[in-house]
Amino acid sequence: MHRQDGPQNGGEFRDQVGKSHRKNDMTDWPNLCILLLTYNRLEFATKTVRSVLENLHYSGQLRVHIADDGSDEEYRESLRTLVGGYSNVVGVGVSNSERRGYGANYNLAMQAVHSHSRIVLPLEDDWQLTAPFDLDPLVKALGEEYFGCIRLGYLGLTQSLSGEFILANGIIWLLLNPDSPEPHVFAGHPRLETVDWEKAVGPWPEDLDPNTTEFAVCHQPEAREGVVWPVSMLTTNGGLFAHIGSYEAGEGRVHPKEEVLA
């Protein structure tokens, strides 16, 4: 997609596998919101925002919500201004959980996001989208209601993780087995979710560090149901999103690490 000084919405889009798609009337599509979870690392967050908004295609209305956990106002305004410069974004929301942690940041943002959108793309602020990516086929597949959460990062595991192949909207998916020994059926990587699925999972635990928060959500039965991985679109080490950094919670220190496709 393009900033406001570039081509406007409309016409044809060619996705990462070279397929051509004609954009449809926005009224045919549910509102979709990119949820950016961030705190005090503008360089990483800026790279994330630019990569997503310049590579992502969606035929419906696209919103962005900046969920900040207590950075200064200048930080939030910088991101708001950046996002607002893209013509494919129809609205920008901002929330501030004031250093109450990862879970509280997520929960506060969802109160706003769920009021206007039916599909959510949660995204931490250190993932870059590496190629043009058309969300239309994935949103259509979510509409068939076989599943509610599409994992878009790499499929990492430390224990046995099983599933079954299913076909939805012409795409092959691995529907993950919720009873697998592997804790991470759900994962905090980039993903596409329905609001109904998120409401079934419920609020995230608060007052925990980010890793412990994610691990707790992974063990909730509702977060292990209806989770798929699009094997026809991703390789086993990802391919669409690159993880560009790691963060030591609560101390504001960025630890760059070797880029891994995820």
88 inside domain: yes
Residues 6+ away with beta carbon under 8 Å from 145? none
Is the pLDDT higher at 243 or at 53? 53
Q: Which residue has the higher pLDDT, 94 or 259?
A: 94
Mean pLDDT computed over every residue of the chain:
85
Q: For 19-72, what is each residue's pLDDT tens digit?
A: 333 334 434 899 999 999 999 999 999 999 999 999 999 999 999 999 999 999
Q: How many domains does the chain contain in total?
A: 1
Closest CA to 140 of 155, 156, 118, 124: 118
Instruction: Tell me the CATH number at 17.
Output: 3.90.550.10
Is position 253 within any domain? no
Question: Has residue 255 got a pLDDT over 50?
Answer: no
- Is residue 7 assigned to a domain? no
State the residue range of the domain holding 239. Answer: 12-248
Encode pLDDT of 153-206 as tens digits: 888 889 999 999 999 999 999 999 999 999 999 999 999 999 999 999 999 999
Residue 234 has what pLDDT?
64
Q: Is residue 2 part of a domain?
A: no
Would 4 be classed as within a structural domain? no
pTM for the model? 0.84
| Structure confidence by residue, pLDDT tens digits, 103-134 | 999 999 999 999 999 999 999 999 999 999 99
* pLDDT > 70: percent of the chain: 81
Tell whether 260 is covered by a domain.
Answer: no
Whether residue 182 is contained in a domain is answered as yes
Per-residue pLDDT tens over the stretch 221-236: 999 999 999 987 766 5
Residue 257 lies in a domain: no
DSSP string, 19-66: -EEEPPPGGGS--EEEEEEE-S-HHHHHHHHHHHHHHEE-SS-EEEEE
